């Protein structure tokens, strides 16, 4: 199969006056310059004509949530059955996006509330999300940050980035920085190099991660020059965002191989989307194709409660069914973690089918993926050690200069021996308020 498919050649020919060759098609700047941003152009290139009533609704939708798709990603649409095409569904506006339900929120993950500095979301104890770009090469219809898409179509200036860097520099608990956006790879190599260099100069930043959809929607962005720059900043991890096996093409494979060859561990975050990938067979095929390309499936996300996403949402049961079809049925490293990002900013909550059937003090009853029910005999002689957090006196050899003290919180705290807390009580609990008054 030629990388420069007939569909690609046709799209290219319609977009430019001159006939272009493969090298121009693979120029990511050309792809960006020729992004499709209007419904007319979309129709023309696909050779379709929407009926009038639908077209009016689509025009309204685009006013609220703009449209953009790269010529490359567009060329993946199967024109014979475009309405059900996974790429079409992820890129073309749907009138349902305008339906707002009472559970929908513009910022369901409270990212704006948990922001101590420009561009920073600090939610977890040891890591931060750093939004270094407000732009993307295409606008995913299922974007959780849909509220911001097309707002200020720009890349933050050095001053804004500097404020974020200052926060990270002055917050020593941050050992992992996740560059996100928008798409961080919309920045020039030089600008990104500067940010990565600044981050690397901070002693407590152990790991840097980049979240990008470029390998999916614009794989030509992964150039030798980019990869040579990235690999100067190890340990650097990249998470990408494939949602459907059809997105894994010769070009995206090449991009992934370049990144993996540069020693960058690759992960993938999939969003569970009704009408796109809410099928165990599609998901299994996707996960297997990812590992074939050295990408470790990392998360499957339950679709967020953002405005305009309701038509993409599935019940959580669909996600559990998918997890059931993966664990045991395929390679363990092809099985991601299924998570719900808690509305209100509680962070990611993992969900799994139930494998624990019952237990007594000496036996646990479990079931496996085939439905076999089995028992695990607990040890008769487990010596319980009361942990008082005096690690220097403990026989387990925790190397103390590498293991700084930290406060236990949440359920970890309830389980610990050294903390006297016996329960966690929500704030404003009426009964507790009666006690104090």
Ligand X SMILES: *Cc1c(COP(=O)(O)O)cnc(C)c1O
Beta bridge partners of 301: 271, 339
Phi, psi of 137, rounded to the nearest 5 degrees: -80, -25
Which residue stretch of 35-43, 68-76, 123-131, 139-147 sits at the interface with ligand X (rule: CB under 6 A)? 123-131
- Cα dihedral sign, 203-207-209-215: positive
Q: Does 120 bind ligand X (CB under 6 A)?
A: no
Smaller CB separation from ligand X, 40 or 112: 112
Which residue stretch of 37-45, 120-128, 279-287, 350-358 sits at the interface with ligand X (rule: CB under 6 A)? 120-128
Q: Does 123 bind ligand X (CB under 6 A)?
A: yes
Q: Does 241 bind ligand X (CB under 6 A)?
A: no
3-state secondary structure labels for all residues of 300-348? EECCCCECCCHHHCCCHHHHHHHHHHHECCECHHHCCEEEEEECCCCEE
Shortest distance in whole angstroms from residue 403 CB to ligand X: 19
Binding-site size for ligand X (CB under 6 A) equals 7
Shortest distance in whole angstroms from residue 164 CB to ligand X: 14
Smaller CB separation from ligand X, 127 or 146: 127
C-alpha atoms less than 13 angstroms from C-alpha of 86 in its C-beta half-sphere:
20
Shortest distance in whole angstroms from residue 108 CB to ligand X: 11
User: 3-state DSSP call for residue 424?
Assistant: coil
- 308 and 98 in contact (C-beta within 8 Å)? yes
Interface with ligand X (CB under 6 A), residue from 61, 75, 121, 251: 121
* CA 98/CA 111 separation, integer angstroms: 22
Smaller CB separation from ligand X, 68 or 165: 165
- Nearest of 290, 217, 230 to residue 261 by alpha carbon: 230
Shortest distance in whole angstroms from residue 175 CB to ligand X: 11
Per-residue contact string for residues 302-341; x = within reach of ligand X by CB under 6 A: ----------------------------------------
Interface with ligand X (CB under 6 A), residue from 82, 124, 191, 194: 124
Q: What is the DSSP string of 8-46?
A: HHHHHHHH-SS---HHHHT-HHHHHHT-B-SHHHHHHHH
Smaller CB separation from ligand X, 255 or 339: 339
Smaller CB separation from ligand X, 127 or 241: 127
Shortest distance in whole angstroms from residue 123 CB to ligand X: 4
Which residue stretch of 121-129, 189-197, 396-404, 420-428 sits at the interface with ligand X (rule: CB under 6 A)? 121-129
Burial 252-281 (b: 16+ CB within 10 A, else e): bbbbbebbeebebbbbbbbbbbbebbbbbe
Shortest distance in whole angstroms from residue 302 CB to ligand X: 13
Smaller CB separation from ligand X, 127 or 141: 127
Shortest distance in whole angstroms from residue 238 CB to ligand X: 13
In the sheet with 295-301, reading across from the earlier edge strand, the strands are 120-124, 127-131, 176-180, 207-211, 236-240, 266-271, 295-301, 337-342, 347-351
Q: Does 178 bind ligand X (CB under 6 A)?
A: yes
Shortest distance in whole angstroms from residue 299 CB to ligand X: 7
Shortest distance in whole angstroms from residue 367 CB to ligand X: 28
Interface with ligand X (CB under 6 A), residue from 26, 89, 127, 146: 127
Smaller CB separation from ligand X, 124 or 194: 124
Contacting ligand X within 65-104 (CB under 6 A):
none
- Nearest of 46, 49, 51, 39 to residue 80 by alpha carbon: 46
* CA 94/CA 59 separation, integer angstroms: 10
Residue 47, phi-psi category: left (phi > 0), alpha (psi -120 to 50), beta (remainder): left
User: 3-state DSSP call for residue 121?
Assistant: strand
The residues carrying an active-site annotation are: 123-124, 127, 136, 140, 143, 145, 304, 341, 348
Per DSSP, helices labelled H in 121-223 are 158-169, 189-200, 214-217
Q: Does 270 bind ligand X (CB under 6 A)?
A: no
Interface with ligand X (CB under 6 A), residue from 148, 348, 367, 413: 348
Q: What tokens were used for 292?
A: 């074939």
Q: Does 129 bind ligand X (CB under 6 A)?
A: yes
Which residue stretch of 6-14, 34-42, 116-124, 374-382 sits at the interface with ligand X (rule: CB under 6 A)? 116-124
Q: Does 132 bind ligand X (CB under 6 A)?
A: no
* CA 112/CA 120 separation, integer angstroms: 9
Which residues contribute to the site for ligand X (CB under 6 A)?
121, 123-124, 127, 129, 178, 348
């Amino acid at each position: 199969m030629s990388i420069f498919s007939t569909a690609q050649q046709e799209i290219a020919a319609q977009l430019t006056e001159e006939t272009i060759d493969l090298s121009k098609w693979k120029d990511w700047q050309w792809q960006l310059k020729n992004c499709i941003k209007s419904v007319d152009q979309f129709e023309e290139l696909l050779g379709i004509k929407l009926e009038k009533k639908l077209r009016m609704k689509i025009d309204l939708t685009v006013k609220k949530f703009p449209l953009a798709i790269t010529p490359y990603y567009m060329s993946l649409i199967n024109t014979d059955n475009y309405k059900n095409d996974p790429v079409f569904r992820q890129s073309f506006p749907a009138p349902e996006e305008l339906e707002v339900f009472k559970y929908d929120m513009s910022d369901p993950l409270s990212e704006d509330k948990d922001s101590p500095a420009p561009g920073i979301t600090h939610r977890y104890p040891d890591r931060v999300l750093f939004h270094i770009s407000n732009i993307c090469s295409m606008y995913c219809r299922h974007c959780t940050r849909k509220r911001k898409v097309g707002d200020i179509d720009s890349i933050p200036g050095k001053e804004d980035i500097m404020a974020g860097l200052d926060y990270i520099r002055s917050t020593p608990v941050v050992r992992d920085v996740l560059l996100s956006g928008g798409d961080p790879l919309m920045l020039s190599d030089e600008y990104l190099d500067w940010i990565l260099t600044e981050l690397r100069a901070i002693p407590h930043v152990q790991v840097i991660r980049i979240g990008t959809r470029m390998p999916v929607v614009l794989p030509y962005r992964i150039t030798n020059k980019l990869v040579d720059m990235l690999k100067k900043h190890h340990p650097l991890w990249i998470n990408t965002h494939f949602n459907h096996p059809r997105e894994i093409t010769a070009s995206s494979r090449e991009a992934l191989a370049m990144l993996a060859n540069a020693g960058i561990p690759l992960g993938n975050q999939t969003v569970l989307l009704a009408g796109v990938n809410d099928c165990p067979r599609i998901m299994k095929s996707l996960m297997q194709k990812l590992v074939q390309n050295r990408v470790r499936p990392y998360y499957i996300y339950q679709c967020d409660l953002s405005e305009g996403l309701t038509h993409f949402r599935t019940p959580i049961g669909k996600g559990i069914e998918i997890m059931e079809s993966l664990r045991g049925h395929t390679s363990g490293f092809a099985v991601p973690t299924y998570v719900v990002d808690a509305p209100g900013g509680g962070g990611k909550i993992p969900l799994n089918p139930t494998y624990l059937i019952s237990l007594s003090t000496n036996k646990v009853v479990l079931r496996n993926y085939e439905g076999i029910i089995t028992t695990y005999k607990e040890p008769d002689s487990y010596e319980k050690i009361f942990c008082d957090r005096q690690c220097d006196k403990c026989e387990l050899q925790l190397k103390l200069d590498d293991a700084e003290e930290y406060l236990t919180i949440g359920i970890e705290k309830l389980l610990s021996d050294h903390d006297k807390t016996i329960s966690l009580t929500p704030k404003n609990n009426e009964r507790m308020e009666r006690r104090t008054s």
